[in-house]
Amino acid sequence: MQWNDLGRWMPGLVNLRTYNRSWLKPDFRAGLSVAAVALPVAIAYAELAGVSAIVGLYSCILPMIAYALFGSSRQLIVGPDAATCAVIAAVVTPLALGDPERHWQLTIMMTLMMGAWCLIASRFRLGAIADLLSRPILSGLLNGVAITIMVDQLGKISGFTPTSSQLIERILSLPKNLLHSDPLTLGISLMTLVTLMLIKKIRPNWPAPLIAIVLAVIVCWGFDLSARGLALIGGFNGGLPIVKWPTFQPGLMRDLVIPALNLALISFVSMMLTARSFAAKNGYEVNADAEFRALGIVNIVSGLSQGFAISGADSRTAVNDANGGKSQLVSVIAAVAIAIVLLFFTKPLQYIPVAALGIVLMYASWSLLDIKGIWQLRKRNPPAFRLALITFLGVLLIGVLPGIGLAVMVGLLQFLRTVFRPTEQLLGVNEEGMIHSLGNGSNVEPVPGVMMYRFNSPLTYFNVAYFKRRILNLVDGMPFEPRWVVIDAVASFTHADISVLAAIDELKRDLRSRNIALVLAGRRTELTRWFNDNRGSGAVDNELLLIPDLYLALKFIQSKESVQEIG
């Protein structure tokens, strides 16, 4: 493989090959800072995904190194993500039937499937699919996921066992459950929360989650709080666990195929929003198809290293950028630091209180909340507001995956409605002879005897009947009798649709019965070829007028009418 081909597959390696040594110090500082934040967050998100805490560390080390080689963003840090873990838990928990080993197996398989979907999408250059989940959908999703996570953690930070697995029922039963809270658990939760808030206020650049977790571990170990009933995460005192595959049931994989596809879409959109934001800030571009491929590779690497699905981590990427990280070497340094902790310092991690992790999760989820942002869309963009609100309520009421599916369906229906029944304009000219929409200015007047029309959507088989009907209705309702109908072909004729070409022939005949000539202005070369191909060889339509643009169409009409007046 030549270097150019290798560079196309591994853009991160190209950047590392031309590494500037002056970046080493800021990259090293940023790498340690990222590791300090990623370590407790990874453990907390493992708890959210329903797997052992150590799996969160598995999901960081090799995937971060893989992204450093295959990713095109210099700042992006990959790792566990709140939305990703929430989707995993929603899909895998019902299939696992309470078996932790099966839960881990299914989580790994879903991660591998997600990676495979991403590689397939990259192979077919579907990076533009990032636009399928629009910002309103993603905003509604993140707000819904944030509230879902916070409600799920209430039992852990208060020490009671929820009586229902459904969100609404949990909220309704919350006052009763709070009466059964454990004071010791509440105390640890309060201490962790106060620590996080104080550090954010006094030293915002410090790794607040790590410091809060370390303090909680010291308190629990020093006062032996586990003996008093405080729940700890455990799982770090028996070496590095390995999943047992002989017990896996392959038939369960069929239930993961579509959820893995949904997870790939969500993760990619979230990752691209983060990558593009920091790339724009630092003056470089990211390749969407390369990022899709990188996301697939890092998730396959995560699955093979017994981890769970990961995406772009906006909070850790922000830490990287704030500490001056310049290249993908930051990911390598952070991964090495986490690996050292995994290999040599895991024993203290077993003393992390479940309540402290719950507070870290709630604290991280709080940053995802932006209810005000959704509400502000109400006046700025009502369709976007409705889409964000539907996604938000869908996630809360029917779950993460069904809510996303509902939002995507509503978004597609909004798009189809725009294409089915688009906006339209009648055009005229101003005193300088410039063409504008009628009503766009007081001096814009229609051209005598000419109706100029613009249809603001590509014409296709499912809207051409409406297009034809609108033109005939406008012709019949004009205050004057038009002798010419000029259609702006640039806006609506984008591809050769047989149904559209046939409808234009019908429209031409209907207008001719009214003694009106039809003119298509724009795309003359394409339209000539399309109509000739549609009619077959040798067929010529001398009555169809194809003009290069609107201005030439008006000159052509003036010339024709001048000739008729002279004649």
Under 8 Å between Cβ of 127 and 304: no
Task: In whole angstroms, give the CA distance from residue 102 to residue 100.
Answer: 6
Does pLDDT of 190 surpass 90?
Answer: yes
Contacts 24+ apart (CB under 8 A), 342-349: 342/54, 342/57, 342/58, 342/61, 342/240, 346/54, 346/236, 347/236, 347/237, 348/217, 348/221, 349/43, 349/53, 349/217, 349/233, 349/236
Mean pLDDT across the stretch 222-247? Answer: 81
DSSP state, 430? -
Mean pLDDT across the stretch 506-531? Answer: 91
Buried b (16+ CB within 10 A) or exposed e, 274-312: bbbbbbeeeeeebbbbbbbbbbbbbbbbbbebbbbbbbb
From the list 149, 187, 141, 143, the residue with the least C-alpha distance to 170 is: 149
Q: How many CB atoms lie within 10 A of CB 5?
A: 9
Under 8 Å between Cβ of 130 and 268: yes
Give pLDDT tens digits for 23-58.
898 898 889 888 887 888 888 889 889 998 889 999
CA distances, 97 to each of 48, 84, 102, 157 (Å): 17, 21, 8, 24
Q: How many CB atoms lie within 10 A of CB 254?
A: 8
CA dihedral 362, 365, 367, 369 (to 10 degrees): -120
In terms of average pLDDT, the best of 128-137, 374-383, 547-556 is 547-556
Does pLDDT of 539 surpass 50?
Answer: no
Under 8 Å between Cβ of 475 and 451: yes
Phi, psi of 463 (to 5 degrees): -130, 0
Token pair 């298509």: residue:
520
Query: What angle is formed at CA 552 by the lines to CA 549 and CA 558, rounded to 5 degrees?
Result: 140
Task: In whole angstroms, give the CA distance from residue 66 to residue 298.
Answer: 6
From the list 154, 342, 149, 314, the residue with the least C-alpha distance to 235 is: 342
Mean pLDDT across the stretch 283-311? Answer: 91
Burial of 357 (0-12, 13-18, 19+ CB in 10 A): buried
CATH code reported for the domain at 424-566: 3.30.750.24
Does pLDDT of 99 surpass 80?
Answer: yes
From the list 390, 400, 370, 367, the residue with the least C-alpha distance to 148 is: 400
Task: In whole angstroms, give the CA distance from residue 69 to residue 335.
Answer: 13
How would DSSP label each residue in 175-213? Answer: HHHHTT--HHHHHHHHHHHHHHHHHHHH-TTS-HHHHHH
User: In the structure encoding, which two tokens stand for residue 181, read together?
Assistant: 């809270």
In the chain, how many H helices and how many E strands?
25, 8
Query: What band does 494 get if pLDDT is binned at 50, 70 and 90?
Result: confident
Give pLDDT tens digits for 108-156.
999 999 999 999 988 888 777 666 666 787 788 778 878 887 888 888 8
Task: In whole angstroms, give the CA distance from residue 554 to residue 531.
Answer: 23
Under 8 Å between Cβ of 333 and 32: yes
CA distances, 499 to each of 283, 459, 485, 496, 506 (Å): 46, 9, 20, 9, 11
Residue type at position 548: P
Reduced to 3 states (helix: H, G, I; strand: E, B; else coil), residue 466 is helix
Task: In whole angstroms, give the CA distance from residue 205 to residue 207.
Answer: 7
**Structure-model confidence comparison of residues 399 and 333, the more confident one:** 333
Helical H segments across 18-99, by residue range: 24-49, 53-58, 61-70, 82-96
What strands lie across the sheet with 545-547, from one edge to the other?
435-437, 424-429, 450-455, 484-488, 517-521, 545-547
Question: Which are the contacts of 517, defined by CB distance < 8 A and separation ≥ 6?
Answer: 483, 484, 485, 511, 543, 545
Mean pLDDT across the stretch 7-20? Answer: 78
Give pLDDT tens digits for 434-444.
888 987 666 88
Query: What band does 19 get if pLDDT is binned at 50, 70 and 90?
Result: confident
Position 541 scores a pLDDT of 56
Q: How many CB atoms lie within 10 A of CB 21?
A: 6
Per-domain residue ranges of the chain: 22-242+251-369, 424-566
Task: In whole angstroms, give the CA distance from residue 358 to residue 192.
Answer: 10
Task: In whole angstroms, give the CA distance from residue 219 to residue 237.
Answer: 19
In terms of average pLDDT, the best of 178-182, 389-393, 559-563 is 389-393
Task: In whole angstroms, give the CA distance from residue 464 to residue 421.
Answer: 10
Rounded to the nearest integer, the mean pLDDT of the chain is: 85
Give pLDDT tens digits for 345-354.
878 878 888 8
Task: In whole angstroms, give the CA distance from residue 59 to residue 468.
Answer: 57
